[in-house]
Structure 1
């Protein structure tokens, strides 16, 4: 088999996928961008028979022709009974989506390598329960969802982690085949939650991480900084600064404190990282941010073209980690793929 013949099916699949995406964009061109929430009205719900539905339609046509040919009243009765069942199924399937409200929820930031959990909230306000709903993003789908009357539920999509960066969620699809499976109704959604992926932390002092010898805490210190002092523990001291070795010797809690307030300010510097690869440097800085935060230190972050002044607390930690996540990148649309692919 020639090598170029192997790629023909993959090229055909890509071409069909592009044509399908173009068709979906053309069909949904009149829909406004959803943003944080979407309400499913009649103008954005689509319905078609499934394979089982087309099979049933063929059987009904054959039965109708037979009924006409033989003028059999019982055959007419059975034929139109099946038509009525199909008509009612169409009505029930369509209204299983009609009137639903779907809203985004905050997406917890993750580190590179961790699975992404995308929560979306589905709310029912029409006074009827909804069954067998499926929410999809690319090849990923949630388990079938049910919503009680006047209630709500949270759907969580688990996606493969694409690596460091800021992402938006691509087009979503909400569909159902309830109750008989002979018809499928669906709607396209363009909800846009922000997805933040931090670099995977790497200890600069770990030889496997490519780093060299660092201080005991793995933090960048200023030249000439006075060594830390040990003092008795006071209520409110950060747990990360407790000297556990001293506790093991004496049974009393002590904490490590810098010799001066100015010396306690740390600068985590891009240039000080013992690595040449930019992604490795970002991962090392990520580790240092986490270590400084856990120890309750006051720290700043220096990146090429950006400086975050020394501070502390959860808000400063989140600001530093976000700066690392979006360093020299632009927000892009997430490309969903099967986990482990």
Structure 2
């Protein structure tokens, strides 16, 4: 278990302590009142510095919001909110898994992005963050551990290319379950050359400055099925992840086959999440 508070002495702080001890020894040996005053002043400086550094961190509260998708080996932007006391807080450094965020100054509230990087896929716990500061004089670095206890699902890092059993299916192939009515509008996608003009969403195209086509649930279309049922390695999972993201971005209906698991071709955010979760937990 990590200690909640730690104090580290910096090089200037070590020199200050050594100088204070030297002056104190000289004062004891000589009985010089001026040396006693200097010793008292140095001890007072260290005491005030320690108290200010403690209160600079003691009242800070941290909230963190993970992004919707986290990929292994890639920086993921976590939204961080710092809440502090009415008086200013200085020179904070927030550190996590493979990343950090510096906040030179804030009062009451600060919001920023903390980019964290996770080396492996799957379920990864984020147990906490470390917040530190060398305020006010840099003699000591006070460190505070902020427990979080978040459980993240990290997806494989997307890579392009790959020689797994990917194949394209024609219109309507590979679908499972009853088809929905083609009148059920699913969303919009980029217009492809050769499609009938009646599919163009004119109002949305005018608003976004590019041609968009209407897409309906249950309608046919080209499907991509990634077949990893015969085995895979980590690189294969990464390349399959890249193929999933690319296929969905092109408007394809993407499916996946893993040992003991088959996901029928589909589109949309829910299908994207199902495919990525299956690859992360494979």
Q: 1:95 aligns with which of 37, 41, 55?
A: 55
Which residue, 193, 196, 199 being the options, matches 1:244? 193
Matched residue, 2:280: 325
2:28 & 2:78 partners in 1: Cα distance?
55
Q: Deviations over 1:41-64 (max 9, x none)?
A: xxx333354343233222222212
CA deviation digits over 1:283-328, x for unaligned, max 9?
454344334433445554332222335543212212221221221x
Determine if the alignment matches structure 1 residue 180 to structure 2 residue 133: no
Which residue in 2 is equivalent to 1:132? Answer: 91
Among candidates 231, 237, 240, match of residue 282 of structure 1:
237
Alignment of 1:132-151 (within 5 A): 132-137=91-96, 140=98, 142=100, 144-151=102-109
The alpha carbon displacement at 1:281 in A equals 4.6
Instruction: Find the aligned partners of 2:218 and 2:104 in 1 and give their Cα distance.
Output: 57
Whether the aligned pair in 1 keeps the contact of 2:79 and 2:111 (CA below 8 Å) is: no
State whether residues 164 and 325 of structure 1, in contact with CA within 8 Å, keep that contact through their aligned partners in structure 2: yes
Distance 1:155 1:52, change over 3 A: farther
Secondary structure at the counterpart of residue 86 of structure 2: coil
Identify the residue that residue 219 of structure 1 maps to in structure 2. 168
Q: In the aligned structure 2, how far is the partner of 1:128 from the partner of 1:286?
A: 48
Match of 1:53 in 2: 13
> Are 2:128 and 2:147, in contact at CA under 8 Å, matched by a contact in 1?
yes
Report if aligned partners of 1:96, 1:130 keep a CA contact under 8 Å in 2: yes
The structure with the greater share of residues assigned to strand is: 2
Aligned 8 A contact 1:246 1:254 in 2? no
> In 2, Cα distance between the equivalents of 1:141 and 1:223?
46
Deviations 1:208-256 (A, max 9, x none): x3368x7xxx63448979xxxxxxxxx987434x333779xxxxx8979
Q: Secondary structure at the match of 2:148?
A: coil
Structure 2 counterpart of 1:232: none
Structure 1 gap ranges (5+): 1-24, 29-43, 204-208, 226-234, 248-252, 328-341
Kept in 1: contact 2:173–2:223 (CA 8 A):
no
Offset at 1:100?
0.9
Aligned residues: 258
CA distance in 2, matches of 1:50, 1:254: 60
Partner of 1:36: none
Distance 1:77 1:224 in 2: 90
Match of 2:110 among 147, 152, 156: 152
Distance 1:81 1:134, change over 3 A: same
Q: Does 1:312 align with 2:267?
A: yes
Judge conservation of contact 1:104–1:192 (CA < 8 Å) in 2.
no
- Residue 39 of structure 1 is matched in structure 2 by none
What is the RMSD of the two structures over their aligned residues, measured on CA atoms? 3.9
Summarize the Cα distance change of 1:172–1:224 in structure 2 as closer, same or farther, 3 Å threshold.
Answer: closer
| 1:210 paired to 2:163 | yes
Distance 2:67 2:247 in 1: 25
TM-aligned CA distance change 1:57 to 1:163, over 3 Å: closer
Displacement after TM superposition at 1:151 (Å): 1.5
Quick check: which one's helix share is greater?
1
Q: Is the 8 A contact 1:268 1:288 kept in 2?
A: no
Q: TM-score, normalised by structure 2?
A: 0.71
